[in-house]
Amino acid sequence: MRLYYLLLAVLFLFLLPVSGTGGIINILQRYYCRIRGGRCALFGCLPWEIPSGRCSSSGRKCCQKK
């Protein structure tokens, strides 16, 4: 039973965001953008695309076709 508590603590520490990087959160945001049919743009969306969210905590935008 103690093993379960140890594994839970390790999992909690792994999912805890580290200052400066989003870690697992950025990965999930990029994955969610691609599921919705978008792409992650570094600077901005192209003229035939609309912004539909963010891909990372650093400011990348999720762009979808109009």
pLDDT tens digit string along 33-63? 899 899 999 888 999 999 988 887 778 899 9
d(CA 1, CA 37): 43
Residue 22 confidence class, pLDDT cut points 50, 70, 90:
low
Name the pTM for this structure.
0.58
- Asked if 26 contacts 57 with a C-beta cutoff of 8 angstroms, the reply is yes
Tell me the residue range of the domain where 29 lies. Answer: 23-66
Across the range 13-36, mean pLDDT stands at: 76
CATH number at residue 66: 3.10.360
Number of domains the chain is built from: 1
